A and B are shown apart, each in its own frame.
Chain A
Amino acid sequence: MKINPEYKELAWQGLWKNNPGLVQLLGLCPLLAVTSTVVNALGLGIATMFVLICSNATVSAIRHWVPKEIRIPIFVLIIAAFVTCVQLLMNAYTYGLYQSLGIFLPLIVTNCAIIGRAEAYASKNPIKQASFDGLMMGLGFLAVLVILGAIREILGQGTLFDGANLLLGAWATDLKIQVYQLDSQFLLAILPPGAFIAMGFLIAGKNAIDHKIAQAKPKKLEQAIERVRVNFES
């Protein structure tokens, strides 16, 4: 099976090269706020990915009918509508998780990664590619959330997958892994400053790997990629 190079490039961009969490540094607010455990990170990551795929697909589908001048308010409307729907659905079907993610769900609206992708990619490309881009960007964001959540949960509580039953139902209670026993929790890892520090190490790690790859490979001309910087990060 031959993989379309366009999709390959999209996956590479979303998952590594232009990762919304590590490179674009978009959506830091939810990224840092909810990653105190793997389960919270997974919950918000999946919700964000879902919204990103839906909004990318919709924005792409209507791209011929939206005048350039009013595209931003329309994108915001679409994203806000999807987020509200996700919030209602989570409240109805994953009540426990909804309670622990609480105020961070509506913040997906202000996640610049979403409007950034709508503007930079989805509004110029066909539905298929736009949805795939949403999936890959969402996965990239999800991966960063989960890694950060795992680091903070292990350091802070000494567990993994604590509270998985909130997301997956009662059977998942057994998924909890006690990595080691802590007499008292390592607070720095649980509180927001710990998130910033762990995030810094993650970005440094990614840059180090990129650096190694660049050194190992002979120099090749790189194509300039379009990247959106949005400055109203909440």
Chain B
Amino acid sequence: MSTLLPAISKNAKILALFAIVCTLSVGLVHVLTKERISMQAQQQLIKQLNEIIPKSSHDNEMFRDCIAAPIDNNTDLLVDVIYRARLNGVSTAAAIKAIAPNGYSGNIELLIAINVDGSISGVRALEHKETPGLGDKIELRKSSWIEKFSGKGVLDDNDTRWGVMKDGGMFDQFTGATITPRAVVKTVKKTIDYFKANQAVIFSNTSNCENK
């Protein structure tokens, strides 16, 4: 016992010392890179927003003009943040971050820009876990499929064009992957409906995402 205790305390001290040194160095790197990391994420967001909402229809900093999505009990759509585009102070479009919960493998996060007239300005897939080679054609760098949404709008409540071709709609499905485009199309349509129903609130609420 008398020889065991000193050995334990010595080893414990050494281990603690190493833990402190390692934690310190990780902490230091974290502090040094923190700002750059959040800047990178912001740059990415600005780039994506500018891609789907053209420069000609906005002159504000969209990533600073955003709100948490207003709650709407009439829809089961999962919406997150909404960025607003304005030209000379007049609202022109909104980019809505929405989640399609029924992808082939989990959630698909979409950024959907809708003009004030209810037509789509552009759509981008932000994050997904779809099968590489099949479902990942929703990414712009793999295929231009996602650009087909641009300019389309919902005519009335039972607009049957909003589906994949297999279901009688106007959007291509992918060979071997129907579930992924079906989920995306459905969510985009729901987002348009949501936007139309809440348009006034979406543009009038004061920006509250500044420090998010």
Contact = CB atoms under 8 A, between A and B. Distances in A.
A and B are interacting partners = yes
Main secondary structure of the interface of B (DSSP, over half): helix
A67 interface: yes
A66 B14 CA distance: 8
Given A95-B40, A156-B133, A191-B132, A78 B22 contact: yes
B11 A67 contact: yes
Contacts of A70: 11, 14-15
Contact of A78 (B18, B37, B41, B131): B18
A interface residue count range (under 10 / 10 to 19 / 20 to 34 / 35 or more): 20 to 34
B30 interface: yes
Interface string A72-85: 01100110110011
A185 B18 CA distance: 49
A73 B14 CA distance: 11
B33 A80 contact: no
A221 interface: no
B14 A65 contact: yes
B26 interface: yes
B175 interface: yes
Given A190-B132, A191-B133, A74 B29 contact: no
B73 interface: no
Contact of A84 (B26, B40, B175): B26
B56 interface: no
A70 B8 CA distance: 10
B36 interface: yes
Nearest to A163: B141
Given A67-B11, A95-B40, A74 B18 contact: yes
Nearest to A96: B44
Interface of A: 36, 65-67, 69-70, 73-74, 77-78, 80-81, 84-85, 88-89, 91-93, 95, 156-157, 163, 184-185, 187, 190-191
A157 B30 CA distance: 37
What class of interface size applies to chain B in its complex with A? 20 to 34
Contact of B37 (A80, A91, A184): A91
B197 interface: no
B132 A80 contact: no
Q: Is the interface of A mostly helix, strand, loop or mixed?
A: helix
Contacts of A78: 18, 22
A95 B18 contact: no
Contact of A80 (B11, B15, B22, B36): B22
Contact of A77 (B19, B132, B175): B19
A67 B13 CA distance: 11
Q: Which 5 pairs from chain A and chain B are nearest by CB? A: A81-B22, A92-B33, A92-B36, A95-B40, A185-B133
Contacts of B134: 187
Contacts of B44: 95
A62 to B, nearest CB: 8
A81 B18 CA distance: 11
A89 B25 CA distance: 13
Given A70-B11, A84-B29, 15 more contacts: A67-B10, A70-B15, A77-B19, A80-B22, A81-B22, A81-B25, A89-B29, A89-B33, A92-B33, A92-B37, A95-B43, A184-B175, A184-B176, A187-B134, A191-B133
Given A77-B22, A95-B44, A191-B133, A88 B11 contact: no
B26 A93 contact: no
A85 B26 contact: yes
A68 to B, nearest CB: 10
Contacts of B131: 191
Contact of B15 (A74, A85, A89): A74
Interface in B109-128: none
15 contacts: A67-B14, A70-B14, A70-B15, A73-B15, A74-B18, A78-B18, A78-B22, A84-B26, A85-B26, A92-B37, A95-B43, A157-B133, A163-B141, A184-B176, A191-B133
